[in-house]
Amino acid sequence: MPSRKTIALVAHDNKKEELVAWAKLNRKLLARHSLYSTWTTGQLLKTRLGLKVTLLESGPLGGDQQIGARIAEGQIDFVVFFSDPLQSHPHDADVKALLRIIVVWNIPVACNRASADFIVSSPLMATEYERLAPDTSRHRVRLPLSAALSVAADHAHLASP
């Protein structure tokens, strides 16, 4: 992780104002890093604070998944996701998938203002950091295609009347 971090900023609807207020207090620090955000949150950060933000889709339209893909590709260093645990969300499965990818790839995540404050005030924000990535070798080794097709055919045969 370089000294210039790539940060994903996300907030549920009821937490967008809180994220904007937090970002306003940390605007100078955030401006020194590369920022990505889901659409509506990013628009607020751009228009209200003048931050340069790469906009992804809205969360329900795939923005959470876009952030997850960038994490898997090694392009996101940490995530600030002000989530609202007291309200149901139509794209809850996407949010859970994003949080799963964050954990799998050992990415720091702040889910509220206090944890965001701790992350950005860490001495590691201004330095390089070697994040331990998971050993994915056992997940990358799969059955050869012919064996996988044979297993699938056996399952189909067993399922047929």
Q: How confident is the model at residue 135 (pLDDT cuts 50, 70, 90)?
A: confident
Gap between the Cα atoms of 104 and 102, Å rounded: 6
CATH number at residue 25: 3.40.50.1380
Q: What is the mean pLDDT of residues 118-134?
A: 89
pLDDT at 140: 67
Residue 59 lies in a domain: yes
Residue 82 lies in a domain: yes
Which is catalytic among the residues 13, 64, 92, 154?
A: 64
Contacts of 89 (CB under 8 A, 6+ apart): 12, 60, 95
pLDDT at 136: 75
Q: What is the mean pLDDT of residues 110-132?
A: 92
pLDDT at 45: 97
**Does residue 130 surpass a pLDDT of 80?**
yes
Q: How confident is the model at residue 149 (pLDDT cuts 50, 70, 90)?
A: low
Q: What is the mean pLDDT of residues 78-88?
A: 81
Q: Produce one character per residue of 86-102: b if its CB has 16 or more CB atoms within 10 Å, e if not.
A: eeebebeebbeebbebb
Please tell me whether the overall predicted TM-score, pTM, comes out greater than 0.75 for this model: yes
Residue 48 lies in a domain: yes
Cβ neighbour number for residue 25 with a 10 Å cutoff? 13
- Residue 13 known to be catalytic: no
Gap between the Cα atoms of 109 and 119, Å rounded: 8
Residue 139 lies in a domain: no
Residue 33 lies in a domain: yes
Residues of the domain holding 23: 6-134
